[in-house]
Amino acid sequence: MRKAFLQQKAKEDVREIVLYIADDTLKAAEAFRLALERVRLTLADLPEVGRVYDFGKRELKGLRMLPVPDFTKYLVFYVYREPEEEVEIFRVLHGARDIPALFL
């Protein structure tokens, strides 16, 4: 069975996003957490579901992006490691950020 997990930087992204959303409403912050967990489970089942991104970095070959349901301004960036049957979630970012610069 495949597994999907968040790298440390993605965990930090999520923590910052949840705190930001919680400033407005705790209910929305919890909804974001649940939506992100659904993304994680989806990626474990369907690791090639997202759109391919190419930043020209060898270590990010096969990088994909999937928006968080109900929070579509937030994007999950991940790589499926086929031989290991693992999905590594590298970042969770707001779409308005300079995304290519964050992957340099």
Each residue's pLDDT tens digit, 82-95? 888 899 999 999 99
**Mean pLDDT, the chain cut into blocks of 10 residues (104 residues total):** 92 97 96 97 94 83 94 96 90 94 82
Q: State the CATH class of domain 3-102.
A: alpha beta
pLDDT attached to residue 72:
94
Domain boundaries, the chain: 3-102
**pTM (two decimals):** 0.93
Cα-Cα-Cα-Cα torsion 4, 88, 46, 94, nearest 10 degrees, comes to 100
Share of residues in the chain with pLDDT > 70 (%): 100
